[in-house]
Amino acid sequence: MVNPVLFIVVPLGLAFAIPLLKYISKKIIRFVPALAFLFNLIFALRLIPVVMDHQVHVQIGGFIPPLGINLVAGPVGMLFVVLIALVGFLVSIYAFHPIKEKDEDRYHILYMLQLTGATGVVLTGDIFNLFVFFEILCLASYSLVAYLGNRAGIESAVKYLIQGSLGSGLILIGIGLLYGQFGTLNMADIAGRIHSVQSISVYVPLVLFITGFGVEAALFPLNAWLPDAHSSAPSTISAVLSGIAIEVGLYAVLRVVFTLFGITHMMGLFLLLGVLTLLIGELCAFSQDNIKRMLAFSSIGQIGLLVFAFSLASTLGIAGGFFQLISHTLGKALLFLAAGYMIAHTGSMEIASFQGMGKRMPFTSLAFTIGAFSMVGLPPFMGFPGKFMILKAALHDGQMLTLILLVFILIATVIEGAYFFRVVQVLYFAGEDLPDRERAPVAFSRFVPMFLFTGLIIVLGIYPSLITDLLDASALELLDRPDFIKSIIP
Amino acid sequence: MNFLSEYTYYIGAFSLIIIGLYIILVKKNLMKVIIGFSIFDTGIYLFLIAVGYLREGTAPVFSKPGLDAGKMVDPVPQALVLTAIVIGVAVLALAVILAIKIYAHYGTLNLRKIKEQRW
């Protein structure tokens, strides 16, 4: 059994080894991120059967909780670690072919730091440590959005930075308030004592946390930065931002709401917020001509759906939410990579410029189509079981509010279908009369990740039962608070 | 007056936070917004320190005999603030770099004029 701390240490160490490795060979640094995340992927997969049985705790420096910083590798944490490592590995294969000729080393360092931060957020059991890793993730994201150095990138990075650091400041105030009341930073310890104080002094930090993490999670009124940042970043980074960063923000919100505060009686608010985010995202996506902006808005919509699923606060709903989360991560990463490859070929982000791509880049178009179908929720792709599980959970919940909101979710899915089919239609059926241009050249580093993402989407779409055990265990970890607390603070 | 003297640090900290927030939300110039962030951050650091501060407290050194544990200043918030300052410096440095880049691209730091990206 591998020590979970290595999932953080190995990418972090290798990230800072890159400036040294650069002096040995400039080519070697391209393979470092892939190596690090392959390591994480293999050992995280091997650790999963262990954490299904019992949570793995690591006490950093040997201090017993609640004194020291501890890592908690439960089903939820490991689910995210595997997802981050998988996406990190596949996207870093895509980057074997340099994104930009200059400053390649900086790209790889920041990329690894970003995913290290994400891994740290999902593994830590200490609220301040969570903040620190969250800041590593955010800082690396700000810089990567500006990596191309063009007008759009810099402007989006400034917006992202201002909103993101405002959110981080609020989180820090919330941490200060919690520490002032409980004298501890350990999440399980705080969770165990949260009901011992007046509710008003708990709600203030709760609101601060939800606002702060909500900026990164792109909850509705806080997501103005997302379409700009996701559309002006390099395509690989858009894939990671959409597939990992906002999900990790959502994880932080879930951890705070379910585990730390144990608030389950105001879920109606979150249900509404989720559906509102979903509708706004899908409606804005529908009116876009720029493909990357369309995908970015679609991410907002998907986050809304996830918030809805998690707010059902039932085993079925949370398991469905996690399934849809995995489906969104794989699907959106695939879509951004495929779109990025087509953009690199046509030099334009306008959807109209992709006419006839079905002939010129048949494989990429096919990958994009599969990703789009999976996003919409067509069988046999992964989006179908995800949406189906959420639907089932909502019907099982049976409250009037949930059922009314369900109607809006179905409407949003129709809108989603409309704009994705429009792109697919442009890819295959528009511009028949264009002169036959030759096929695009084949780059294997670009095809391998797209192929693997496509394969995973189909396999998990046909056999969702491969991961349902893990999802059920994850849902249980979030819902069974006393057990979580007792396992850390006996 | 007792209230004031007891909560001076909290009042000061939250005043700084509010001033910082005001500057961030209202000012147009990017450099001023960055300065606002600096003030906002300082307010948060002061607040965190105030949480663990004890009037006439001593340093938490347990090896020295004769010191009362009840009169020691809580060292944890200070450790938090050290970490938070490091993060804050990194964010500010990045913000200033981006401000330089913004000026190079747009020839202005007025945030109201920089809006090529919109919904």
- Beta-bridge mates of residue B110: B29
A78 touches chain B (CB under 8 A): no
The partner residue sitting opposite B114, judged by closest CB among A139, A155, A232, is A155
pLDDT recorded at residue A20:
92
Query: Hey, are the CB atoms on A152 and B117 less than 8 Å from each other?
Result: yes
Flag if A179 and B33 touch (Cβ within 8 Å): no
* Minimum distance, in Å, between the CA of residue B65 and any CA atom of chain A: 23
Average of per-residue pLDDT across B74-89: 92
Domain CATH code at residue B9? 1.10.287
CB spacing of A176 vs B114 below 8 angstroms: no
Identify whether the C-beta of residue A471 lies closer than 8 Å to the C-beta of residue A322. Answer: yes
Q: Is A423 on the interface with B (CB under 8 A)?
A: no
Three-state helix/strand/coil letters over chain A? CCCCCHHHHHHHHHHHHHHHHHHHCCCHHHHHHHHHHHHHHHHHHHHHHHHHHCCEEEEHHHCCCCCCCEEEECHHHHHHHHHHHHHHHHHHHHCCCCCCCCCHHHHHHHHHHHHHHHHHHHHECEHHHHHHHHHHHHHHHHHHHCCCCCHHHHHHHHHHHHHHHHHHHHHHHHHHHHHHHHCCCEHHHHHHHHHHCCCHHHHHHHHHHHHHHHHHHCCHHHCCCHHHHHHHCCHHHHHHHHHHHHHHHHHHHHHHHHHHCCCCCCHHHHHHHHHHHHHHHHHHHHCCCEHHHHHHHHHHHHHHHHHHHHHCCCHHHHHHHHHHHHHHHHHHHHHHHHHHHHHHHHCCCEHHHHCCHHHHCHHHHHHHHHHHHHHHCCCCCCHHHHHHHHHHHHHHHCCHHHHHHHHHHHHHHHHHHHHHHHHHHHHHHCCCCCCCCCCCCCCHHHHHHHHHHHHHHHHHHHCCHHHHHHHHHHHHHHHCHHHHHHHHCC
Q: What is the pLDDT of residue A439?
A: 64
Question: How buried is residue B5: exposed, middle or buried, by Cβ count under 10 Å (0-12/13-18/19+)?
Answer: exposed
Write the CA distances from A203 to A174, A188, A264, B30, integer angstroms. 10, 18, 13, 33
Contacting residues for B46 by C-beta, under 8 A, at least 6 apart: B9, B12, B13, B16
A162–B33 C-beta distance less than 8 A:
yes
In a domain, A387, yes or no: yes
Per the domain annotation, does B117 fall within a domain?
no
pLDDT at A66 (0 to 100): 79
Shortest Cα–Cα distance, A154 to chain B (Å): 7
Q: Is A172 on the interface with B (CB under 8 A)?
A: yes
With contacts defined as CB-CB under 8 Å, which chain B residues touch A284?
119
Establish if B113 belongs to a structural domain.
no
Residue B4: pLDDT over 80: no
Per the structure, the complete domain to which residue A414 belongs is given by 266-490
Query: Which residues of B are less than 8 Å from A151 in CB distance?
Result: 105-106, 116
**How many other C-beta atoms can be found within 10 angstroms of the C-beta atom of residue A68?**
15
Confirm whether A235 is domain-assigned. Answer: no
Range of the domain at B101: 2-56+67-106
% of chain B surpassing 90 pLDDT: 55
In a domain, B14, yes or no: yes
Count of A-B CB contacts under 8 Å = 94
* Distance (Å) from the alpha carbon of A135 to chain B's nearest alpha carbon: 7
The first and second tokens of residue A104, run together, are 């390649």
A280 at B interface, C-beta within 8 A: no
User: In a structure prediction context, what are the per-residue pLDDT tens digits for chain A, which is 490 residues long?
Assistant: 788 899 999 999 999 999 999 898 888 888 999 999 999 999 999 999 888 888 888 888 878 877 888 899 989 999 999 999 999 999 999 988 877 777 888 999 999 999 999 999 999 989 999 999 999 999 999 999 999 888 889 999 999 999 999 999 999 999 999 999 988 899 989 988 888 887 788 889 999 999 999 999 988 888 889 999 999 999 999 999 999 999 999 999 999 999 888 887 778 888 999 999 999 999 999 998 999 999 999 999 999 999 999 998 889 999 999 999 999 999 999 999 999 998 888 888 888 888 888 888 888 999 999 999 999 998 889 999 999 999 999 999 888 888 999 999 999 999 999 999 999 998 888 766 565 566 666 678 888 999 999 999 999 999 988 898 999 999 988 888 888 888 888 7
In a domain, A380, yes or no: yes
Q: Report the residue of chain B nearest A133, measured CA to CA.
A: B87
C-alpha to C-alpha distance for A232 and A256, rounded to whole angstroms: 31
Q: Is A232 on the interface with B (CB under 8 A)?
A: yes
* Domain-located, residue B36: yes
What's the pLDDT band for B57 if we cut at 50, 70, 90? confident
Q: How far is CA A96 from the centre of its chain?
A: 22
pLDDT for the residue numbered A183: 87
State the total domains in chain B: 1
Mutate to test the interface with B, among A144, A165, A282 (most CBs of B within 10 A): A165
B119 in any annotated domain: no
- Report how far residue A460's alpha carbon sits from residue B32's, in angstroms, rounded to the nearest whole number: 50
CA distance B107 to chain A (A): 11
Q: Which residues of A touch B119 (CB under 8 A)?
A: 227, 284
pLDDT score, position A433: 57
Region for residue A128 given its phi and psi (left: phi exceeds 0; alpha: psi -120 to 50; beta: otherwise) = alpha
Q: Which amino acid is at A156?
A: S
Q: Which residue of B has its CA nearest to A129?
A: B80
> Would you call B24 and A162 a contact, using CB atoms and an 8 Å cutoff?
yes
Residues 6+ apart with CB under 8 A from B69: B62
d(CA A218, CA A210): 11
Q: What is the CA radius of gyration of chain A?
A: 22
Helix (H, G, I), strand (E, B) or coil at B110: strand
Token duo for residue A300: 């907002």
What pLDDT sits at residue A485? 86
A145 within 8 A of A160, measured Cβ to Cβ: yes
Q: Residue A141 domain-assigned?
A: no
Average confidence (pLDDT) over B9-15: 92
Mean pLDDT of chain B: 88
What confidence score (pLDDT) does residue A85 get?
95
The interface predicted TM-score (ipTM) is 0.93
* Dihedral sign for Cα atoms in the order B92, A299, B21, A232: positive
A166 touches chain B (CB under 8 A): yes
Judged against a pLDDT cut of 80, whether residue B70 lies above it is answered with no
How high is the pLDDT of residue B1? Answer: 59
Count structural domains, chain A. Answer: 1
Do the Cβ atoms of B83 and A132 come within 8 Å?
A: yes
Answer positive or negative: Cα dihedral of A262, A268, A273, A275.
Answer: positive
Determine contact: A169 vs chain B, CB below 8 A: yes
Residue A236 to residue B99: CA distance in whole angstroms:
25
Classify residue B29 by its DSSP letter.
Answer: B
Sequence-distant (≥ 6) Cβ neighbours of residue A147 within 8 angstroms: A99, A100, A103, A106, A107, A110, A153, A233, A234, A237
Of A161, A173, A232, the CB nearest to B98: A161
And the tokens for A275?
Answer: 């559906």
Tell me the nearest-neighbour CA distance from A469 into chain B, angstroms.
38
So what's the pLDDT on residue B7? 84
Q: Is A128 on the interface with B (CB under 8 A)?
A: yes
Residue B10 lies in a domain: yes
Which residues on B lie below 8 Å from A146 (Cβ)?
Answer: 98, 101
Nearest C-alpha of chain A: how many angstroms from B1? 23
Min Cα separation A384/chain B (Å):
29
Instruction: Collapse the DSSP code of B72 into the 3-class scheme (helix H, G, I; strand E, B; otherwise coil) and give the result.
Output: strand
Q: Which residues in chain B are closer than 8 Å to A154, comparing Cβ atoms?
A: 98, 101-102, 105
CA distance B98 to chain A (A): 7
Residues B91, A139: C-beta atoms closer than 8 Å:
yes
* Rounded Cα–Cα distance for residues A183 and B96 (Å): 36
Chain B residue numbers touching A185 (CB-CB < 8 A): 76, 80
Q: Does A133 touch chain B (CB under 8 A)?
A: no
As given in the structure block, the two tokens for residue B74 are: 């809580």
CA A412 to the chain's CA centroid: 21
